Structure 1
Amino acid sequence: MIEVAALWRHPIKSHGREALERVTLLAGKTMPWDRFWAVTHSATKFDPRTARWMPCGNFMLGARVPALAAIWASLDEESRSITLRHQALDDLQFCPDDPVGIAEFLAWIAPLCPEGRNRPHSIVSAEGRGMTDSAFPSISIMSMASHSAVADALGVDLKTARWRGNIWLAGLPAWEEHNWMDRDIRIGKAILRVRERIKRCTVTNTNPTTGLRDTDTLATLKSVFGHQDFGVYAEVIETGEISLGAKAELV
């Protein structure tokens, strides 16, 4: 039996994760409040006047700034305020829509960003969707068994937070999700269509507790499993609520 083991959202792209107990997925949309905001850097091509989705290279990323991986987030949806926590910094509560809040955030995040690279510039959002890495509004689905397979191959206690997934499923064989391309899966009351395998980058080499690179997940994926993929991107095709422990099945 396949069931939901964990649910996560990342209110600001690459800047913090937040565990959920339940969420209502909307057809054609990203997970509510997931990657709703993103942090531009000094060389971005993002135009706030059009506020269109753009590829991840236009934003600050954990692949370039490993310390970002150790941020936790908590979003108050009503006030749209966020609390960020990092072991090396004091907690910060601010509003990403407010210029004063953005200035506070930029001052807070600066010590984590290496000199000699693009610096964080502002916080932006796209019209009608989250800033996921895919050009379509995606939700990522991960397998606990596939994660365990990678951890066993590495011989370390690997945290699932390295993969920054939205929906974690337990009860299926390792890598079974790679066979779901163009298949529909019902998770709780929602139905999603699996679209793509997720090709991974160096951010997964970073420990999400310490923010330090401490293992080579990419080399292990390639040498042991013959690919550089982990998880799949899916698109919501039928609105519905999902929760921890909800059942999942291909339809």
Structure 2
Amino acid sequence: MCTVAALWRHPIKSHGREALDTVTLIAGQTMPWDRHWAVTHDRSKFDAQNPAWVTCRNFMIGVSTPGLAGLWATLDTDSKTVTLQHQSLGSLTFQPDNPAGAARFVEWVQPLCPPDKFQPTGIVSVQDRGMTDSKYPTVSIMNLASHAAVAEQLGKPLEYERWRGNIWLDGLDAWEENNWIGKDIRIGDALLRIHEPIERCMHTAANPHTGERDTDTLGALRGGWGHQNFGVNAEVIEGGQVTLQNKGQVL
């Protein structure tokens, strides 16, 4: 048995994170409003006339633009208004679906984008589909004990926001989640099926406050456990409410 320690959504893919107290998951979908929008770049192959899920390399992400890791987000779901904050840029409030708002965002975020890398061009979304890295809609589940093990391997404190997880669980053994592949887990009122581990990229090396790459997270994973995995991807089988301190049980 474990408990829900934290809930996070990321309204715009790779552009900020927001803590939640409760969320209602929907069968077959990502966490509501998680990666609802994504930012295209000057070489993106996303087809705005026929919007559909495409791989993450078609969007502005932290692998190529580590400064994005320093963004934090707040979403007003009623007005579909996002407020982004960054310690160097200040804050911006806008509506991603409004062309004028998207243009303001592109101008505002430009200082975080090195001139020799991808450049942001706009904001897109796909109906009823969060733009997660997986080809199918997923919710990511993280284990606080596994995070503590990585921090110990590094020999220093580590911000858990680096992993960009949706549901964080406490009360487990380190890496216990890697034994859940193919199993179901009941968290609060929702039932999720664990499908695969999440292979990590260089985004995790960037500090979630400064956006600077300051920690060899991938080296720690490889050196300590011989892989680059952290957390697991799950599919929502039965929707329902999940709230902080809810119990979780693998079935």
Measured against the shorter chain, the TM-score band is: over 0.9
Which structure 1 residue ranges, 4+ long, deviate > 6 Å from structure 2?
none
Residues 27, 237 of structure 1: 8 Å contact kept: yes
Deviation at residue 210 of structure 1 after TM alignment: 1.2
State the partner residue of 1:67.
67
After superposition, the C-alpha distances for 1:47-105 in whole angstroms (9 at most, x for unaligned) are: 01111001000000011111110111000000000000000012100000000001100
Q: Distance in 2 between the 1:156 and 1:236 partners?
A: 35
State the partner residue of 1:191.
191
Task: Give yes or no for the alignment of 1:232 onto 2:245.
Answer: no
Deviation at residue 122 of structure 1 after TM alignment: 0.5
Secondary structure in structure 2 of the residue aligned to 1:91:
strand
Q: Distance in 2 between the 1:209 and 1:110 partners?
A: 18
Task: Give yes or no for the alignment of 1:48 onto 2:48.
Answer: yes
Residues 191, 237 of structure 2: 8 Å contact kept: yes
Q: Distance in 2 between the 1:233 and 1:50 partners?
A: 27
State the partner residue of 1:181.
181
State the partner residue of 2:114.
114
Q: Distance in 2 between the 1:41 and 1:94 partners?
A: 19
Structure 1: tracts of 5 or more residues without a match:
none
Secondary structure in structure 1 of the residue aligned to 2:32:
coil
Deviation at residue 127 of structure 1 after TM alignment: 2.4
Deviation at residue 165 of structure 1 after TM alignment: 0.3
Secondary structure in structure 1 of the residue aligned to 2:90:
coil
Deviation at residue 163 of structure 1 after TM alignment: 0.2
Q: Distance in 1 between the 2:210 and 2:246 partners?
A: 31
Aligned CA-pair RMSD: 0.6
Task: Give yes or no for the alignment of 1:139 onto 2:143.
Answer: no
Give TM-score, length-normalised by structure 1.
0.99
Task: Give yes or no for the alignment of 1:105 onto 2:100.
Answer: no
Amino acid at match of 1:213: R
1:1-251 counterparts in 2 under 5 A?
1-251=1-251
Q: Distance in 1 between the 2:173 and 2:195 partners?
A: 19
Counting aligned pairs with the same residue, the percent is 58
Give TM-score, length-normalised by structure 2.
0.99
Structure 2: tracts of 5 or more residues without a match:
none
After superposition, the C-alpha distances for 1:19-64 in whole angstroms (9 at most, x for unaligned) are: 0000000000000000000000000010011110010000000111
Secondary structure in structure 2 of the residue aligned to 1:61:
coil
Residues 65, 117 of structure 2: 8 Å contact kept: no
